[in-house]
Amino acid sequence: MAMSKDAIWAGTRTLVTGGRGFLGGHIVRRLKEEGADPVAVGRAEADLTDREETQRLFDDVQPDVVIHCAVQGGGIGWMREHPVESGRDNALININALDAAHRAGAKLFIGASSTCCYPRSPPVPFVETDIWNGYPEPTNGPYAQSKRLMMDLGRAYFQQYGFRSAFAVLGNLYGPGDDLDMDRAHVVAALIMRTLREPEELVVWGTGNATREHLYVEDAADGILALASWGKPDPVNIGTGDEVSVRDLAHAIAHATNFEGSIRFDTEKPDGQPRKVMDCTLATQEVGWTASTTLEEGLSRTVAWYREKLGC
């Protein structure tokens, strides 16, 4: 049964895993604005790789809705160096959160997925039905498979128990509140932090030719909340539909930070997936959501936040 955004969030007790993190923190703030009763949880409350700890936490909170943002992750370098943690830990986290939500009596589970769940080279722009048509980019394959597992299990829980779920396939996130750890920050944040240090040369991984889709975190939060009216155990692309090369992104960040040094692309480092941009027609036409923040606007706000946090 679909519900309107206003109807579901007013007074709704909502458990947000990863609720003190980058995406989760923005979701919690939006939930408060919608009149919900959000409960932000993180590692301090439970180790979500542990089934019993996870179930105990969910039983204590007794949520009406679960928004699952908790993740063990990092940038492309971290993924390449930690394939076990990125695959194993996230598979456990996703399985345990989904199962605990069902067992605790929640009415809806909304999971944050990622464009990395798509095959390495599907038709562009990516359409949701292509997610299963091939292995993901090997650089982050185990992590991507954990997201696929979560979404496929969501379909299974609906089929067997009628448990409602929805899954947001998110573009590359950026914005205020991203990680201050260079190894774990998303690509936009990592490049911003490096340019703010004013090196003579900014070195960027890869050829610069790979393309990505960058989603401002506040738009992502709104897109995830909008999925309450969708409530189908199917993935929905939540992005901008705008394809930006790594080269153009680096130059845009240099402009936003007033970086005057040179930019060099290290071609010995991996590009990752060659192209990433999604078709967001389903979100627009069926969910009624569209990203509203331009890359220029988002970079300006993000740079201002990092300047404040880093004191530069």
**pLDDT-derived band of residue 1, with 50, 70 and 90 as boundaries?**
very low
Asked whether residue 132 carries a pLDDT value surpassing 70, the answer given is yes
- Which CATH number is 5-178+213-241+275-292's, of 3.40.640.10, 3.40.50.720, 3.40.1190.20, 3.40.50.300? 3.40.50.720
* Percent of the chain predicted with pLDDT > 70: 97
Residues forming beta bridges with residue 244, ordered by sequence position: 212
For residues 231 and 279, which has the higher predicted lDDT (pLDDT)? 279
pLDDT confidence of residue 51: 98
Output the pTM of the full model. 0.93
Are 12 and 237 a contacting pair, CB within 8 Å?
Answer: no
Each domain of the chain, given as residue ranges in start order, spans 5-178+213-241+275-292
Residue 44 backbone dihedrals phi, psi, to 5 degrees: -65, -30
Asked whether residue 85 carries a pLDDT value surpassing 70, the answer given is yes
Rounded distance between C-alpha atoms, residue 146 and residue 305, angstroms: 31
- Given the residues 118, 143, 157, 174, the one annotated as active site: 143
* Percent of the chain predicted with pLDDT > 90: 85
pLDDT confidence of residue 43: 93
Asked whether residue 312 carries a pLDDT value surpassing 90, the answer given is no
pLDDT confidence of residue 75: 67
pLDDT confidence of residue 148: 98
pLDDT confidence of residue 187: 86
| 157-185 per-residue burial string, b: 16 or more CB within 10 A, e: under 16 | bbeeeebbbbbbbbbbbbbbbbbeebebb
**39 exposure class (CB count in 10 Å sphere: 0-12, 13-18, 19+):** buried
Q: Is 118 a catalytic residue?
A: no
Residue 49 CB coordination number (10 Å): 18
pLDDT confidence of residue 3: 45
For residues 273 and 66, which has the higher predicted lDDT (pLDDT)? 66
Strands (E) in 177-248, as ranges, are 201-205, 211-212, 214-216, 235-238, 244-245
Q: What is the DSSP letter of 251?
A: H
